[in-house]
Structure 1
Amino acid sequence: MHGPDPATLHPLPHHRRLVFLKNLITRPNIIVGDYTYYDDLDDPANFERNVLYHFDFLGDRLIIGKFCALASGVKFIMNGGNHETAPISTYPFAIFGGGWETLMAGQDVRDKYPSKGDTVVGHDVWIGHEATIMPGVHIGNGAVVATKAVVTRHVPAYAIVAGNPAQVLRFRFDEATVERLNRLAWWDWPAQKITRHLHLLNAADVDALEQVAGSDGW
């Protein structure tokens, strides 16, 4: 057994609102790993509509790792939602034309949308119902983002965050264990190996998982 086919759009035939998200993505600047799913209460095609202010000319990317679980209504605010705050007015005059673009000649329109870089979600991350992720945020492997949290800063690996703005409530494991799990990077194992040791991934024995990490010829 190799587990479910990651190229399947609907891995649960009886539940059409859940998709392996990679197979639904159409935008080249959204990158999603295998087995990451999105479960939408209405229509999973809503996902790309929930990636907001994502303008091609800015070039920022949304990168989501493998084995993530994204609940209905999760929103990603991209860098096109940023405005300059240094000038007296934050209003983007030049984009509306009518002569304003001439008066602003020489200014790169991208300067009006300060970039915080790519938004990156690690592997095995659970993002709860209607959580909002702000531009340029990095969410570490194994993290949990609570329902309706607003994530404005980087989230450490295996942290649980909640609130607006989201704050770390606790870590799922101690620091040494987090380092071990990041080194193991089980999400990069071949599907056959993950399947073979699924009982360990659904347990809490990191020692046992380490013992099999170099086994099976991989």
Structure 2
Amino acid sequence: MNQPLFNHWSEVKYLKDIVTNPLIEVGDYSYYSGYYGNQNFEDGCVRYLWGDFKSQKLFNPIEQYGWHLDKLIIGNYVCIASGVVILMGGNHNHHSEWATVYPFVEQLEQSYEPKGDTVIKSDAWIGMNAMIMPGVTIGEGAIIAAGSVVSKDVPPYTIVGGNPAKEIKKRFTDSEIIKLMEMRWFDWNRKMIERAVPLLSSSSIDKLYNFYNSEVKKK
């Protein structure tokens, strides 16, 4: 019997501790909470991306075919819930404009088309069972509702949901979002962030902005 990947729903794994795929870039303190899906991040949550341990042993499309493979780029303090699927570019050999969408082996080398990097920027929260389609960029502080299918870019500090995912609301006013984008708290050093935790865990963007101007910006 295989040992479970997670022991309890409250357990998280920091991506920097578990990611080995050279095509996945991960920032600090971003985590995967995969208990209910019980899937490996690199070969379960992330799908169709060459570079995990198993696919590296099978083939190398970069050396064999000369493909330019898309990357998955994840910022700092990103929260990824159980059941999330991040679709990547390893199966982009299906052409709707061809007579058949079937990926004949003889045409694999010629048929591959990159979709562009998938980017999940800092402080985003990807809800349970959401699906992120290839080539999408999810902005800073965005929230993806559970079960959503994200096929288009999501602006910073925006909540989206549904299939296809559509904007539900902005998390803050436009002026507050401008301040948050200027502050970029998730790029501060860890000690400064720890000092600001009470402000980060509140709704007062103005108080956080005052802290930023007095304690961060001046350094």
- Which range, TM-score by smaller chain? 0.7 to 0.9
Structure 2: 5+ residue stretches without partners: 1-6, 52-60, 62-67
Give, in whole Å, the separation in 2 of the partners of 1:85 and 1:137. Answer: 20
Q: Structure 1 residue runs of 4+, over 4 Å off? A: 13-16, 42-45
Q: Counterparts of 1:167-206 in structure 2 under 5 Å?
A: 167-206=166-205
Aligned to 1:74: 84
Contact 2:69 2:89 in 1 (8 A): no
The alpha-carbon deviation at position 186 of structure 1 amounts to 0.4
The alpha-carbon deviation at position 211 of structure 1 amounts to 1.8
Per the normalisation by structure 1, the TM-score is 0.81
Aligned to 2:47: 52
Give, in whole Å, the separation in 1 of the partners of 2:28 and 2:79. Answer: 11
User: Which secondary structure does the structure 2 equivalent of 1:92 belong to?
Assistant: coil
Give, in whole Å, the separation in 2 of the partners of 1:67 and 1:135. Answer: 21
Contact 2:81 2:127 in 1 (8 A): yes
Aligned to 1:209: 208
Deviations 1:32-71 (A, max 9, x none): 1111111111576611112111135342111111111111
Aligned to 2:30: 36
- Name the count of aligned residue pairs: 194
CA RMSD, aligned part only?
2.1
Give, in whole Å, the separation in 1 of the partners of 2:13 and 2:173. Answer: 33
User: Which secondary structure does the structure 2 equivalent of 1:168 belong to?
Assistant: strand
Give, in whole Å, the separation in 2 of the partners of 1:69 and 1:33. Answer: 11
Aligned to 1:88: 99
The alpha-carbon deviation at position 153 of structure 1 amounts to 0.6
Percent identity among equivalent residues? 40
Tell me the amino acid that sits aligned with residue 126 of structure 2: I
Aligned to 2:64: none
- Quickly say closer, same or farther: Cα 1:84–1:118, change in 2 above 3 A: same
Per the normalisation by structure 2, the TM-score is 0.81
